[in-house]
Amino acid sequence: MTDVVDRTGGTGRTAATKAGNAAGTPPRAKALSAGSRVSGQPGARPAVDVAALGEQLLGKWADARRHARTLAANPALHKTEGLTHTDHRARTFGQLKLLVDNNAVHRAFPAELGGANDHGGNIAGFEELVTADPSLQIKAGVQWGLFGSAVMHLGTAEHHAKWLPGIMSLEIPGCFAMTETGHGSDVASIATTATYDDATEEFVIHTPFRAAWKDYIGNAAIDGLGAVVFAQLVTQGVNHGVHAFYVELRDPETKQFRPGIGGEDDGVKGGLNGIDNGRLHFSNVRIPRTNLLNRYGDVAADGTYSSPIASPGRRFFTMLGTLVQGRVSLDGAAVAASKIALAAAIRYATERRQFNASSHTEEEVLLDYQRHQRRLFTRLATTYAAGFAHEQLLQKFDDVFSGAHDTDADRQDLETLAAALKPLSTWHALDTLQECREACGGAGFLVENRFASLRADLDVYVTFEGDNTVLLQLVAKRLLADYAKEFRNVDFGVLARYVVTQATGVAIHRTGLRQVAQFVADTGSVQKAAIALRDEEGQRALLTDRVQTMVADVGAALKGANKLPVDKGAALFNQHQNELIDAAQAHAELLQWEAFTEALGEVQDPGTKVVLTWLRDLFGLSLIEKNLSWYLMNGRLSMQRARTVGDYINRLLVKIRPHALDLVDAFGYGDEHVRAAIATGAEKTRQDEARAHYRAQRASGSAPIDEKSLLARKAAGPKSRQG
């Protein structure tokens, strides 16, 4: 085997292990794949088939991920720490050319233009670039995932032929100019206008005031030659809402702004400084009528507006829905960053020793401390859940954009799923990076170990492509709408029976009857309570019931709000906004738990299935523990049963501990991807050297006498003589 595991789980990573595989082969997969079965011997410990688990984690688009990981292993694409933001920008733009040369960015584009019409594979490969440099990933996302995709999905064949070849080759670097200083997530309210002039057959793009400037726009400060500008389309005195327009920003030769266009550099940011974010403004800039990306809305030469979608609201959401891939890719990139952090922190924790807790001569490995396991394993479980949920989101995305399943309902489901998962994974990434940083002590703060750098770069993920809180509010509104549909056309008898059922349920929960029943069942047997919680159906029932109850409570509170005057309806909604967002988050967590559970059904190796089931249980029980006050206050758990949650989590930590390295090795990231000095085996070398030194001292008899031992001997001396 390439790793030697000692009693405490420390590993010695050999040169062969460090070499790894740039395509994503787990470092220890070859060594473990042949013997990863549950032994038939009594008391035998299950083992993880790292190779098989690694394949499952790569998912449907494994080849695209392998290709991207091979590319991400290239030092030419890696972030160089310490560069000025000016130099970092120049390096990142040069790296985009390497992506073009290696066919890494064209998968989603039309086959007739050199693409592959592979939407899922495109996102799967793209999100892996975060392991090289998040600035590279996001700048590539701006160029091909936003700018290029807007032309492709909002434009028609004429636009594709005119601009996509240059966009794909990087001949036309571009911007996605949607966000404004005064309106971020509220896209429908942006103030930039595109007013049609039928005398010249041109649109006039104009920002009427400072708050209407396009802001935080990638490629705007330096590199962008073109832009897809989102503006309110006005023709014949009617505002038809937000549409997209292709605008030439700069002269390709001089790189100077075209007449009427101006801008500013956003300057140094908290992270992602390889991207030249900037501001843009337009003073009556004229563009041809045909520069309107007119797939969903067109203006004839005489100014007549037409659209295949009659409803302005539905048209707006359809146009924005075509650009959902930004949220999908951020979800996946955040999961990848969490994997990198956990791989580094867990590998280090199996080698770093601190304090003589159980021996006079040997210090303890960090990962043997319960609190350390709590810090890392709970986040490891969440990362697995988020990864499995992302694979389902990616499948849904590919189904819609490939046309396999592309109904209005499918698109709405995709929008809701992306809006639910992106907040959880991006918040989780920041939390994981911070906790891993702290778990590695001072070493974690060093830039060479990447935690601080990755956290800075991923910080903005929680607010771009949709602010996380706003996205969860969108999810909550969808949940309320689905809840309302259940009773839209029911007769009084059905509704009355529902109310009676609900009343009965409330009575049971809030009078303590359920608590008493649980207490009677659990009395004298903590083990029974733990078994009930660790049971799959028990976890599902608790997690599902919480979501359903929260949505029903808010739905009941908001009943009739649409019949109130606008101001009163808004005030009522605002009174319950916090509960709404909490319900949406609980819903998203349930989706992750369900995705993890469904993934367990695909695991063939029995040992791997046992370990992953423990990890799934850890995720589910951690969610229950986090919300234990809700379960107690709402009568879903007895005090007796609630007390067992933490104890069972602690028992799961002990079970998972021997498999921690396998679980992070299955992520498939080698040293060339993790690139943390503390995760290379250097710490084990230092610790082994220190232990060998002290062993040699003790064996030779030359070790100095410890003062405390000497004092103890002196104190015991007279007593022993008296005896």
Give the active site residues. 465
Four-residue CA torsion sign, 410, 412, 415, 417: negative
Q: Which two tokens stand for residue 531?
A: 């078994």
Residue-by-residue DSSP string for 162-186: HHHHHHHHTSS-EEEE--BSS-SS-
Q: How far apart are CA 105 and CA 99, in angstroms?
A: 6
The one-character DSSP state at 517 is H
268-305 b/e with 16+ CB inside 10 Å = b?
A: eeebbbbbbbbbbbbeebebebbbbbbbbbbbeeebeb
199-210 b/e with 16+ CB inside 10 Å = b?
A: eeebbbbbbeee
Give the residues across from 281 on adjacent strands.
262
> Taking the C-alpha atoms of 525, 528, 529 and 533 in order, what is their torsion angle to the nearest 10 degrees?
160
Which residues have a Cβ under 8 Å from the Cβ of 242 and sit 6 or more positions away?
187, 188, 190, 230, 231, 232, 233, 316, 319
Four-residue CA torsion sign, 649, 652, 654, 660: negative
- Contact indicator for 426, 338 with CB cutoff of 8 Å: no
The C-alpha angle with vertex 118 and arms to 115 and 121, in degrees rounded to 5, equals: 120
- Contact indicator for 165, 124 with CB cutoff of 8 Å: no
The residue ranges of DSSP E strands in 63-147, in sequence order, are: none
Q: Which two tokens stand for residue 687?
A: 């610790």
